[in-house]
C-alpha cells in the first residue's frame, strides 16, 4: 500500500475504535504499523478491517491481529471456458455440480411428483 492508502486505513481504524485506538497508537501510524501496512495489498487491508469490525470487539486490534486477518484474504478468481464451465483460479480445476446416484434421483423425482399432484 502507498502512503495515502495507509492514511485511509489508519483513519478508518481511528474512526471505528475512536479514542481507544488513537490513545493507544496515536493520530499517525508508527514505524511498525507503517512498515506492515506498506507490505499489504489494499484489498487485504480492507478485508482485515471489515473482519475486525464484524468481530464486534470493543478493543482496537493490535498490529499482529490486523496482519493475521489481512493474510487470510484470498481473492476469488472464477473463470469460464468456451463451453460455459466454471473454473476456480488459474489451475483449470472445474467446479462440478454435485452428483447423486440414479436411485436417489428417482426417489427425489417421485417425491417431487407427489408434491406437485396436489397443486391446481
51/83 same-domain check = no
Q: Which cell goes with 87?
A: 473454473
64/106 same-domain check = no
Q: How many domains does one find in the chain?
A: 2
33/63 same-domain check = yes
Containing structural domain, residue 18: 3-71
pLDDT of residue 37: 95
67/52 same-domain check = yes
82/67 same-domain check = no
Give the whole-angstrom CA distance, residue 36 versus residue 34: 6
User: pLDDT (tens digit, 9 = 90+) per residue, 26-72?
Assistant: 999 999 999 999 999 999 999 999 999 999 999 999 999 999 999 99
Q: Residues 9, 15, 18, 22: is their CA dihedral positive or negative?
A: positive
Q: Using the predicted structure, report yes or no on whether residue 21 has a pLDDT greater than 90.
A: yes
Cβ(109)–Cβ(117) under 8 Å?
A: no
Amino acid at each position: 500500500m502507498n502512503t495515502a492508502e495507509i492514511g485511509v486505513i489508519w483513519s478508518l481504524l481511528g474512526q471505528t475504535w475512536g479514542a481507544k485506538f488513537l490513545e493507544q497508537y496515536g493520530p499517525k501510524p508508527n514505524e511498525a504499523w507503517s512498515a506492515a501496512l506498506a507490505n499489504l495489498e489494499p484489498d487485504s487491508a480492507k478485508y482485515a478491517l471489515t473482519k475486525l469490525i464484524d468481530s464486534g470487539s470493543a478493543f482496537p486490534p493490535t498490529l499482529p491481529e490486523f496482519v493475521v486477518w489481512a493474510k487470510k484474504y484470498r481473492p476469488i478468481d472464477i473463470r469460464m471456458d468456451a463451453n460455459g464451465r466454471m473454473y476456480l483460479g488459474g489451475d483449470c480445476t472445474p467446479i462440478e455440480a454435485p452428483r447423486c446416484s440414479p436411485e436417489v434421483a428417482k426417489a427425489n423425482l417421485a417425491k417431487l411428483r407427489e408434491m406437485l399432484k396436489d397443486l391446481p
